[in-house]
Each structure stands twice: as structure tokens, then as C-alpha cells.
Structure 1
Amino acid sequence: MDALPAVTRTHCPYCALQCGMELHAETGTPLRVAGWNGFGVNRGALCQKGATSTELLNPAVRLTTPLLRSHRSAELEPATWDEALDFTADRLSAIGAGHGRDAVGVFGGGGLTHEKAYSLGKFARVVLQTPHIDYNGRFCMSAAAAASQRAFGVDRGLPFPLADVAHTDVILLVGSNLADTMPPALRYFTAQRENGGRLIVVDPRRTRTAEQADLHLQPVPGTDAALAAGLLHVLIAEHLIDEAFIAARTTGFQEARAEAQRWWPERVEAVCGVPAGEVRAAARMFAGVSAGAEDKAENPYGTSGMVLTARGTEQQADGADAVNAWINVALAAGKAGRPYCGYGAITGQGNGQGGREHGQKADQLPGYRKITDPAAREHVAAVWGVPADSLPGPGRPAVELLASCGTDIRALLVAGSNPVVSAPDAEFVTSRLRALEFLAVCDVVLSETAALADVVFPVTQWAEETGTVTNLEGRVLLRRQAVAPPEAVRSDLDVLGALASRLGRPGFLTSPAEVFSELAQASAGGVADYSGLSHERLDATSEGPGLHWPCPTPDHPGTPRMFLDAFGTPDGLARFVAVACEPAIEEPCAEYPYRLTTGRVLAQYQSGAQTRRVRALNAAEPGPFVQLHPDLAAVLAVAEGDAVRVTSRRGSAVAAARISDLIRPDTVFMPFHWAGAGRANSLTRRTTDPVSGMPAFKTAAVRLEAALVETAQVETARAETARVEAAQ
């Protein structure tokens, strides 16, 4: 391998902002992180997670050798690579032979590079020949993806650069707390307000992001579709719709209009808890009434506007419909397909977009092709050198896939995911993983899921490998290797290649550049066309800004802004979707009188498998908590820091009380980053959106009571912090 440079420009391993960073390798000192000022998305800014990301490279806090459990009752023990690979191949082969190829499943992650995600999909369909592959991105972006496909014919998180936010007159931000989840992105919203723009935030909690809003709507969790329908009702009733845009560039308005007629503001108030006056004010503000921006020379269309959604509105049992209801608002106001206008979904995971574009999702092949499309199957099969009829059909979405473990699915390969903590109804999921005949996990750390495995493969992480990702804007980026991995650590690509050889499919590509080249061929002509991209081209772009897909030829400049001329539907028109706004399936009752909603905090990330191993992040947020209103705390007779037991129909969790008047009195909030007694997903539902397969993380009926003992999870967090400190 060539010598690595002293300073490497690369990208953060965490969220989909993919902040640019510089890694400084100096002899005898740990790798040092600095912001990369030349990368325009974050312009040198890093959050605390990015700034401490190199601590995960410490051998004391990560896996450095394969682990093997020869019997389910035995402990995981160090093994050689040949022992781990041979055992895995033997078990996968035997289970496939004995129970059929569909008895083997694959579960991936939204943090995997394109090369890994693509190879995982190819491995499932060509080597294992199983339809059952899905990934944890199903928990993140699936509702927005399905809604965007229905409305625009294309799903790309933001169909415009994030920088456009700063120049938009009015933004409707739904279900996102960017101040905690993507702090460097907040600068664009601050600039938007400094430029005279206005911000509407929809969130049941008054978060740090909501504090910046001109108007904050606090709906009952799970009622977003009704709230959006109420805004559409006001736009129609007060003649604030853009009739010319609707006629020229959309279809389906009359059906959506008829549904919206049922949701006058007073009815919305009764269902959503948002005052009727605020519903009217939000609609008027979004339409640009009294915005003072109609004559801006840079926008000849009048006031510009965006609707941006995130997990708060998407992780519901009607997630796709809820997102389409918000898209309807944007379309009716004529705020789409124009400069500084449009709908966008704020992607969460580092490569959540690329993970589904290139074959990690149960119903898709590379290039965002549908696996049921005969032409798509022929094209991809030709690239893979296999007959099209050998490719399996659609598999089961993530929640169904995990629920099938131990019954229909007897063996599972997991890469870059920790469903024991991140999946809904997590205790049930844990029981299903324990019921498997064989579980293999590829991960950087010994996560709670890896601890259940029969084989654990220690794999390289972001700074130890080169690969590509797509950020929330559809910008394809090259992450560059900065350091060599520990001696006994290999790439996921090497693991898949070695397993493929043992299972009778030699020649599986393991070079990231070669894998990406094949991916580009497989994506050619698809919706997400990467065929004009390569590692070399991405490496050569000035200051490394990346290129936005679609990028179909080597001389194509990429597509920063989509839909300015036509939408991605066959006729080029955007679709209104008539949304029937139904109440949440699990409403509060006498036994479970409160609503639980879940989410993230600033200092931790996703299942916490990585961030809970970083000393500074644990110090900032050491354990789980329950945010509740002072009125509810008084009813429970609990004080700040007291242990509270939260119980749903699925299980219980215990965490410390965090009392705040910034949340609705009928709602409690728990972050989902911890395992053990404080695991929030012990409470959440496996109920899924029928359109997208998105689980209903944001709405669960619960009861609360003071707990007599301190949560064991706090003790676990303290012990883990002490272990990390000792290691460092």
C-alpha cells in the first residue's frame, strides 16, 4: 500500500451532512481532527461527535480480532480469520441446503459506504440467492422515500443544495431538531432568518431548533397528516393557492382538495392540539402573506418556500401519507420546481441515501431500479454475469425480516447495524435473533447485536478505508483513507469476497475503486445514475465538493437542482396525493394514558454503539432520560433526576426524569441511544406504514410511575465510561 499523507481530507463517519474534515497524522501522536474549511457544506464546522470521532480508532474500544462461538451456550472467543470464515460459510451453506435459500437473510446499515452496500446486495442475490435483504435505513428514510416517489417520481433527500436554504423566504420544517442532530446545518437556517426569511417549526417539543422559529406548532404526536391537511384547507379557503402552477405542473389536485375540505382549523385543533389561529397563521406565512418578499429581484416568482421533513413526521404508522400531506401544501402554494423552492427530506444516516439507491433495500436493485422490473433485472444481471431469472424477487422489509428470524429465516448476516437497540419492540427482536440457528455480524465494535452472534468479524471503519457516500443533498463524496487498520482487521468487502469464494462464487470484487466502477455500470440508465462517476473523478473535483447525481456521463457536471423543468414522473407532472387522515392506531387509554415519542440527543448517535465508547460524549450525555412536563411530574410526585418507569404494551424502561415545560403535558420523550433497562425501543411498536414499511417509532401509549430503584442502565453507562477512560 502507498504511504498515507500527513493530512487527509475526508468526511465525518456520522450523519448525512457528511461534514468535511482534515485528519492530521503526526508521528507518535494520535490522529488529530480539524474542520475542512474548503468543503462548502460545513465550511470547517464540526459538532462534538465529529470532533471526537478518531477516538473510535483506539484498539481498546473496538474489535481487533474475529470472534467465534462454536455452540450457542459457549462464549465468544478469539479465532483466526480462516476459522471464522470457514465456520460461517459452512453454516450458511448447510442452512441454505437444509431449509432453502430463503432461509438465509441479510441485514445492512445506512452507514455503509456505497461499495459495501452494493456488494452486500449483490452477495445476497448472487451468492446466497435469497430475496431477504433489507437495512436499518428502513427505520430512517423509507416513508419520505415512498412519498417522494409518489409525488415526484424520484427520491433524493434534498433535490437542491443545502445552501439554497439560506436564500428561501419561508421554510416549513417538520419533525426535525437540527440543533441536536446536525448542528453545522443550522447555520443555513440562521442565515435564512438573517436574510429576512421566516421559519415555521412543527414539533411536539420546544427544541433548540424550535426556539429559533417565527412560529412553532406543537401537535399531538401522530397527527401530522391532519395538521398538514388543515394548512392545505386554509390555503384553499383563503385563495392562497397558486392556480397557475397547479394547472401547469401538477395533477390530482381536486382529489386532495376534497379531502382537505374536511379539515377546517377548528377540527384540526380538536385532533392535533394546535390552536386554530396558529394553523391559519402558518398557512398564511407559508403562502407569503405579508412576507414583504414578493418583489425580491432574485426571485421573479414571488415568495419562495420549502417544506422539509424528518423523522418526527415520517416515523409513524401513516408516515408516507403524512409526508405526502406536507408535499401537498408545497405544491398547492406553488413552492416546488422553482428556484429556492421544493420539498426535501433530511436524511439521517451517513449513507442512508446511497444504501437504498444501490441494492440494500428489499425491493430495489442498483441505480434505484425496481427489482420487479424485467428490464432492470436484465441490465443488472448482465453486469453481474448471471441469468436474470436467477435473481430473486422482492424480500421482506426490515421489521418483517427481523420478525421472521428463528422461524422462516434460520440464518442472518448483519453488517453495520445494531437492531437489538435500534429496532422497534426491541425485546421481541432480541428474542428473534436468539432463536436463529446462526448469526454472523460485521462491525467495528462489539455492539449489543454482535454480542449475540455466533461469529463476529472485525471490520475497517471510515478513516481506515477509502469509499464513497451520498450526503443529504444527493452529493456523492469520496472518503479517503487516513490510517492503516489494526493488523487483524479487514474490510467488509474482504469478508464478502472470502465468503463468496467459499460458497462457490470466486472473483467477488474487493477493491473499493473496482466495486464502485461496477456499481456505476449497474446504475447506468437508472433513476440514480452514477455511471459518469468514479473514484478518480471524485478525487479530482476542485476542493473535493463531490458531484450530485444523476451524473450519467464522465463529462456531466452533476445535477445540484432537480425538477426545475419537469418532475421525474412519466408525464413530468407532480402528483397531489389525497390523504385520508386517520388517528394513531395506538391511542392513549385509561391503562396507558400518555404518549411516548422518541428521538436523538446532541452527544449520542443512533444506537450509541460507537458514541457510547467516546469519553467526552458519555460525559456530556451519560445515560437515558425521560423528558416530561412539570404538571405530569407533579402528578407522579417525581423530581428532577428521579427514576421513572415507562411501560407500554410491549415492555418497560427505567430512566431518570428530566423535567421541562418545553414538552406537551400529555407527551413524554425518550432518546433511543441506550441498551439495557433504559432502552426506549423496548416500548415502541412494530406497527408499520403499509406504503413504506416504516415503523411507528414516534407514537406509543404508555403509563408512568416513580421507580423505587435507580435504573441499571445509568450504572451500565457509568461502568462503560469508566472502562473507556481506563482504556484511553
Structure 2
Amino acid sequence: MGDVRQVKGCCPLDCQDTCAWVAEVDDGRVTAVRGAKAHPFTRGVLCAKVNDYQARTYAPDRLLHPLRRSGPKGSGLFERVSWDEALDLIAGRFGQIATRRGPEALLPHRYLGSMGVVQRRAPMRLFHALGASRLTGGICSVSAQAVASEGLPLGFDPEDVAESRLILLWGVNLLSTCHHHWHFVQEARRRHGARVICLDPLHTRTARQCDEHVQLRPGSDAVLAAGMARVMLDEGLADLEFARGACADFDELAAEVAPWTPERVAGTCGVTPETVLRLAREFAIARPAVIRAGVGPQQTAGGEAFVRAIGALAILGGHWRHRGGGVLIMANPGLEDLRVDRADLIPAAAAPRGLDMARLGETLTDPALDPPVEGLMVWGTNPAVVQPDAARVHRGLMREDLFTVVLEHFLTDTARLADVVLPSTTQLEHFDVLGAWGHQYITVNLPAIAPLGEAKSHGEIMRLLAQRMGLDHPAMYETDEEIAASALPPGVSLDALKQAGWVKMAKPAPRLEGAGLRLARGGPPPPPAPPTRGMLQLLTPKAHFFLNSSFANMPRQQRSEGSGPTIGMAPADATARGLRDGEAVHVRNAQGVIPATLRITDAVLPGVVALPGKWWSTREEEGAVENLLSPPAWSPGGQPAFNDTFVEVIGTSAPQADARPARGL
């Protein structure tokens, strides 16, 4: 063994924690990736998903060379080609499509597989310069973003949670999805004796560590918040001076929540009236209290109503007056990463249409779309698995007249449907800069090793394709470091960031004057009713060992998560259907059918089933896993309503086994 080099970097994935790490390099090979001990958020610990990230880089099935489809579309048959061949093919086909159909027939499709400004955004320069269709929308926290645009703040420095006296963890499983935030929950307990209450339909790892778990029915979150608001107003517990100064429609809000008595709320949410009263009183009296909210409650048709409702609670309680009080859904350090996209490259005469990324299936199969999308590039996401209405996404990607390019590490469900697959570098092989959506740090990622095989960064792929397509703007030829530097806010230099590893940015005080708090016309919507008797509401919580669909193919994470998709069901529901623990079942609705193994557990409410993780397809004819069952439904603000999905669960002829009900998810 030689001297071990320590290289500063960070996790690239779609997680609020954006952990700083140190890669240990021995004789040109990364032997370990460890959390940075000095980082105030990471504190030396990585999560169960990425604590062996080097295994992803060195995985035997890693894509290391360009591939061109050699069999029928969807067959997964490819042949290795050179970079020159792949680039010539892509440039030629994209050029032909733009000439024949117009540049709007080209579409980029990307998301948060890497949150790095280079990996996530650099290829957008290519599509903007071509005048391609613009990508809009999202699949996660769209409701929160929609409400933020109306004037409600979505967060504060999460380290200030340590000053809270009451913490409501509402629809968020911190210990599986962003466990470093738990540091500050624990500090609040130690410093101030803070009570921690989990509000979640599922009895999660986090719920087990809280002082109380309120297990409300999925989709009823806005109703519970409305009921708490009414109690605060009825009992004179609201900070009326603050609330009237902060919101422009206080009287309308009060009228909206008036019908939601504790008794009515109890019947809708599946909790007791006493619980509604106690939650409201505790929340009003604590100074300060914080509602730490997750993504799950947003993923319904009433997603914006939920975000507005918890925003109203925080304002009624006057909690924004105090450090550590208010609502915390997300935080960010102010990295100006939109500048990386270079939308100014769009030709002056062009006005490209916007296409919602969450409606990819609809976009690719709409016969009236003019021009139709005929050229698609996908990176940083696996839409065949993570998109709603996945069956339609699959049909669209199977179109013979659609030329699809995928930048990837592995042959995912989406990559198997591509015409060309380009090998992308992993986080250990490229330079990048990352912000965060759960803290105030900008972090640098230095390459620990040279790219394996022929893998290339997304900045390099952009430069090579721009050259092939005759795009000569200087922005198309900036280095990855120059691209990253363009996103840095004033006062932050790239050289200083590279030296330090990270920098914390101050969080501006929230502006609350004139915010709109009305929940929705006629009050918050009740939870959706099952369309057919015997149907169960399907929840698809984050898996502990996967991050969305990332790591679902990695052996260690697969073993830890289980041998395949597992669906949790309450004992009473299993008994009513004659099902037993460990039985192979089919989960189905009008959208499709998927296989799973039944787990009977008290962690799930009657009438609800839970299928954690974004598993890749198990057999070609069954397609993607749970999102195959998700209908094309959205909130008014454009949030895919993943949790408004109802299914039936039936047994198969697989062997059965008896087991006691499990606890916890």
C-alpha cells in the first residue's frame, strides 16, 4: 500500500443533506468514502445508501463505453461503439429532426440524479442554443414551490431547529431520508426539553424515536391543520397581531377553517377530537414551534392546500418571530445554478414551448402535439421508473420514431429503451459544485480518480456535441470549472471553495408581509375516496437503502432492502383477503399490475398499503414498479398525485408462510 490521499468531495444525490465526504485514494483506487468530520451538517457520518459509494464507481455492470441499440427497441440489446460514432449519430439525428420538424421536436429531460451544477445543468446549454422545447415542472415538492411563489416562506436555517421547543415532523421520515437533520432535533431535546411529535400515516423509523406518533389517514393532512387553526382561533391562542400583519387574507382564512370542528376533523383524519385539541394547544403555547414537513403530504391533489395550511398554522402561532420557529420544508444556500443553463442562448427569434417533465408519458404519446417530440436526451433521472403513469411513459419511449439518448452509469429501465447510451462519470471522477435543498452550505466535489473506461462528464459531453453540431458560442466550450463558477453567488470564489471544501451562506430573514393563506375554495379537500369497494390506498415511501431508483441495482443495498418489492398491509386487511405474511401477491388497478411480497405489519393503517422504494422492473412484461400503478393525476400547481393511487392486492400460487406482524417501516 502507498500513501493514502484524501480528496474532498460530496454526495451528488437528491437528498436534503448533500453530505460532504472525503474519498480515500490508495494507488489510484478509491478504497473508502467517509463523511467529512469537520462539516457541521455531515459530522463524519454518511447514510446507509452511499457509505460505500466507491462500489458504484467500480461496479462490474457499470457502463464504461458508448452503446448503440442493436436489437428491437426495448430489447436491451446494444453494441459497443466509439465516441466518434456515437457523437456523429446523435448530432446527425438531432440535426435532421431539427431541420425536418423544427428544433422544438427536441426535448431535454433531466432531474436530480446529480445535484451538481455541471452534471445537472451543463447539457441544457446545448438544447437552449438549438431552440429546443423547454423543460418545466418537476415531480417532487412542486406544491411547495407553487406556494412559495405566492409569498409563503418554506424554511429557515435548519440548524436553528436546535432552538425549537416543539417539533412537528409532518409527513417526513428523517431517519431514512435526511438523517443528519436529526442532529438538531436531538439538540433541541437536550437544550430545551423539546417535544417531538411525528404526524404520518406510517409508523416509520422516525416515528419510533419520537415522543408521540399521530397516525392520520393519508391525504387528510390539510384537514388536520385546518382543525388545529380553528382551535387556536376559538380559544384565543393565536398571535393575532402577527397573523394580521403577515397575511393579506386573515379573515378569509378564519372563515375557511371555521367548519373544521375537532369532531369533524377526527372523523376525516382517523384521530380523536382530543388529539386535535391537544396538538393545537401545544403548538400554540410552545415558543417557538416548528413544523418540519416532508414531500409525501404534498403528493396528492391537495398538495398546495397542505403547504398553505401548515404555513397558516406557523403564522397564527407567531412562531416566525422566534429563532427556530415556523415552517421548514426546504432550505438552500443561494447557489445561482439557473445561470448555468444559459437560457440567454435561446435564439432571439425563438419562443420555445414549455413541456412539463412530470407529464412525459402524455408528451410522448399525444397525437395532437405539434411538432411531436422525436429527439430526446435523458440524464440524471430514470423516468421509466420514477414518473407517474409509467406505463404511458414506457409506451412513449418505445416509439420507433423517437430517437432517445441516455447518459447513465448503468443500463436502467430507461437506458434499455434508448437508441444510444453514453457512459457518464460518477461523483468520484469529475469536478462539480453543489448547493442543497436542506441546508445552507455550498460544497465542492474534487475528482478523486480519472474517469474509468471512456466515461465522460456531462460538461465534456456538451462540448463534444456542440462541436459536432456547429455551435460556436463561447459558452459551449467552457471547462467544467468555468461552468461551475458561473453559479457561485457574489463573494464566493471557486479557488477558496476548492481549498475549504464548503462554505456556509447566510439565510435571509423570511418576508411575511402580505402572504396569502387561503387553503382552497371551500376549505381544504377531504382525502380522496376509493373508487371501488375493497381498494386500498397505495403509499410509496422512500426506501431506507435506495434513493428514489438509485442503488436499486446495487447488491449490498438490494440485500439490505430485501429481495424485491415488499408491500406492507395491516393485519385486519390481510385477514379479510385471506392473505398471509410472506405470500407472493399481485398489486393491481386499472393502470397495471406488479408483483410483490406481502408483509403484514401494524405500521400501516387499515385501508392503506405501503410499497417502499423505486425498484427497477423485475420482468419486461411488468414494466416499472409502483409508478406503473400511479394514475395521471396532478395538484392544481402541477404536483404529481402519487399518493392518490388505489389498488387491490390478491394472492398468487406462490408458497405461503406464517409470521407475526412486524413493527415499523
The answer to whether the Cα contact below 8 Å between 1:604 and 1:621 also exists between their aligned partners in 2 is no
SS of 1:596's equivalent in the other structure is strand
SS of 1:82's equivalent in the other structure is helix
Deviates more, 1:584-593 or 1:30-39: 584-593
Query: Cα 1:650–1:386, aligned 2, differ >3 Å: closer, same or farther?
Result: closer
Cα distance per residue 1:216-235 (max 9 Å; x no partner)? 22222122221211111111
Hey, what does 2:663 align to over in structure 1? none
Hey, what does 2:652 align to over in structure 1? 707
Question: Does 2:628 match 1:682?
Answer: yes
- Tell me how far apart the structure 1 counterparts of residues 423 and 321 of structure 2 sit (CA, whole Å): 46
Question: Does 2:507 match 1:560?
Answer: yes
Hey, what does 2:299 align to over in structure 1? 315
Question: Does 2:290 match 1:345?
Answer: no
Cα distance per residue 1:345-395 (max 9 Å; x no partner)? 158xxx9997xx644xxxxx769xxxxxxxxxxxx66xx4666x3453551
Cα distance per residue 1:430-464 (max 9 Å; x no partner)? 11111252110011111110111000010111111
SS of 1:599's equivalent in the other structure is coil
Question: Does 2:457 match 1:491?
Answer: yes
- Tell me how far apart the structure 2 counterparts of residues 592 and 687 of structure 1 sit (CA, whole Å): 21
Extract unaligned runs of 5+ from structure 2: 367-371, 657-665
Deviates more, 1:669-678 or 1:256-265: 669-678
Hey, what does 2:504 align to over in structure 1? 547
SS of 1:209's equivalent in the other structure is helix
Q: CA deviation at 1:591?
A: 4.4
Matches within 5 A, 1:327-726: 327-336=311-320, 338-346=322-330, 358-359=337-338, 384=344, 389-390=348-349, 392-393=351-352, 395-407=354-366, 408-435=372-399, 436-471=401-436, 472-506=438-472, 507=474, 508-520=476-488, 530-541=489-500, 544-548=501-505, 559-563=506-510, 566-567=511-512, 572-580=513-521, 581=523, 583=525, 587-608=529-550, 610-676=551-617, 677=622, 679-691=625-637, 693-709=638-654
The answer to whether the Cα contact below 8 Å between 1:174 and 1:312 also exists between their aligned partners in 2 is no
Hey, what does 1:724 align to over in structure 2? none
Q: CA deviation at 1:510?
A: 4.4
Could you tell me which of 292, 303, 310 is aligned with 1:326? 310
Deviates more, 1:458-467 or 1:471-480: 471-480
The answer to whether the Cα contact below 8 Å between 1:650 and 1:684 also exists between their aligned partners in 2 is yes
Query: Cα 1:710–1:85, aligned 2, differ >3 Å: closer, same or farther?
Result: farther
Hey, what does 1:185 align to over in structure 2? 181
Letter in 2 for 1:488: E
Cα RMSD after superposing both structures: 2.7
Letter in 1 for 2:31: L
Query: Cα 1:537–1:12, aligned 2, differ >3 Å: closer, same or farther?
Result: same
Extract unaligned runs of 5+ from structure 1: 292-302, 360-364, 368-379, 521-529, 549-558, 712-728
The answer to whether the Cα contact below 8 Å between 1:306 and 1:340 also exists between their aligned partners in 2 is yes
The answer to whether the Cα contact below 8 Å between 2:333 and 2:442 also exists between their aligned partners in 1 is no
Q: CA deviation at 1:401?
A: 3.5
The answer to whether the Cα contact below 8 Å between 1:10 and 1:23 also exists between their aligned partners in 2 is yes
The answer to whether the Cα contact below 8 Å between 1:56 and 1:614 also exists between their aligned partners in 2 is no
- Tell me how far apart the structure 2 counterparts of residues 493 and 233 of structure 1 sit (CA, whole Å): 53
SS of 1:106's equivalent in the other structure is strand
- Tell me how far apart the structure 1 counterparts of residues 453 and 340 of structure 2 sit (CA, whole Å): 33
Could you tell me which of 277, 280, 295 is aligned with 1:283? 280
Matches within 5 A, 1:68-107: 68-69=68-69, 72=72, 75-107=77-109
Query: Cα 1:335–1:451, aligned 2, differ >3 Å: closer, same or farther?
Result: same
- Tell me how far apart the structure 1 counterparts of residues 582 and 646 of structure 2 sit (CA, whole Å): 23
Cα distance per residue 1:51-99 (max 9 Å; x no partner)? 1111001151311000012675583110100111111111111112222
Cα distance per residue 1:591-610 (max 9 Å; x no partner)? 452111111121122114x3
Hey, what does 1:141 align to over in structure 2? 141
Cα distance per residue 1:621-658 (max 9 Å; x no partner)? 33110001111111122222111211122111221111
Q: CA deviation at 1:30?
A: 4.6
SS of 1:306's equivalent in the other structure is strand
Matches within 5 A, 1:258-269: 258-269=255-266
Letter in 1 for 2:415: A
Question: Does 2:208 match 1:211?
Answer: yes
Could you tell me which of 285, 296, 304 is aligned with 2:288? 304
- Tell me how far apart the structure 1 counterparts of residues 225 and 531 of structure 2 sit (CA, whole Å): 25
Query: Cα 1:29–1:459, aligned 2, differ >3 Å: closer, same or farther?
Result: closer
Query: Cα 1:537–1:134, aligned 2, differ >3 Å: closer, same or farther?
Result: farther
Question: Does 2:247 match 1:250?
Answer: yes
Hey, what does 2:54 align to over in structure 1? 54
SS of 2:647's equivalent in the other structure is strand
SS of 1:546's equivalent in the other structure is strand
Q: CA deviation at 1:684?
A: 1.4
Deviates more, 1:331-340 or 1:621-630: 331-340
The answer to whether the Cα contact below 8 Å between 1:131 and 1:394 also exists between their aligned partners in 2 is yes
Query: Cα 1:616–1:647, aligned 2, differ >3 Å: closer, same or farther?
Result: closer
SS of 2:354's equivalent in the other structure is coil
Hey, what does 2:369 align to over in structure 1? none
Q: CA deviation at 1:321?
A: 2.2
The answer to whether the Cα contact below 8 Å between 2:123 and 2:461 also exists between their aligned partners in 1 is no
Q: CA deviation at 1:265?
A: 1.4
Cα distance per residue 1:167-197 (max 9 Å; x no partner)? 2111222111111122333232223223311
SS of 2:205's equivalent in the other structure is coil
Could you tell me which of 161, 164, 171 is aligned with 1:168? 164
Query: Cα 1:337–1:460, aligned 2, differ >3 Å: closer, same or farther?
Result: farther
- Tell me how far apart the structure 2 counterparts of residues 121 and 488 of structure 1 sit (CA, whole Å): 22
Query: Cα 1:134–1:462, aligned 2, differ >3 Å: closer, same or farther?
Result: farther
Hey, what does 1:111 align to over in structure 2? 113
Q: TM-score scaled to structure 2, two decimals? A: 0.89
- Tell me how far apart the structure 2 counterparts of residues 5 and 533 of structure 1 sit (CA, whole Å): 30
- Tell me how far apart the structure 2 counterparts of residues 586 and 92 of structure 1 sit (CA, whole Å): 43
Question: Does 2:7 match 1:13?
Answer: no
The answer to whether the Cα contact below 8 Å between 2:429 and 2:447 also exists between their aligned partners in 1 is yes
Cα distance per residue 1:209-251 (max 9 Å; x no partner)? 1122333222221222212111111111111111121233332
Q: CA deviation at 1:468?
A: 1.1
Q: CA deviation at 1:39?
A: 0.5
Q: How many residues align?
A: 635
Query: Cα 1:585–1:199, aligned 2, differ >3 Å: closer, same or farther?
Result: closer
The answer to whether the Cα contact below 8 Å between 1:151 and 1:576 also exists between their aligned partners in 2 is no
SS of 2:396's equivalent in the other structure is helix
Q: TM-score scaled to structure 1, two decimals? A: 0.82
- Tell me how far apart the structure 2 counterparts of residues 275 and 353 of structure 1 sit (CA, whole Å): 42
Letter in 1 for 2:553: R
- Tell me how far apart the structure 1 counterparts of residues 459 and 62 of structure 2 sit (CA, whole Å): 19
Letter in 2 for 1:607: S
Hey, what does 1:39 align to over in structure 2? 39
Hey, what does 1:126 align to over in structure 2? 129
Query: Cα 1:710–1:11, aligned 2, differ >3 Å: closer, same or farther?
Result: farther
- Tell me how far apart the structure 2 counterparts of residues 256 and 578 of structure 1 sit (CA, whole Å): 7
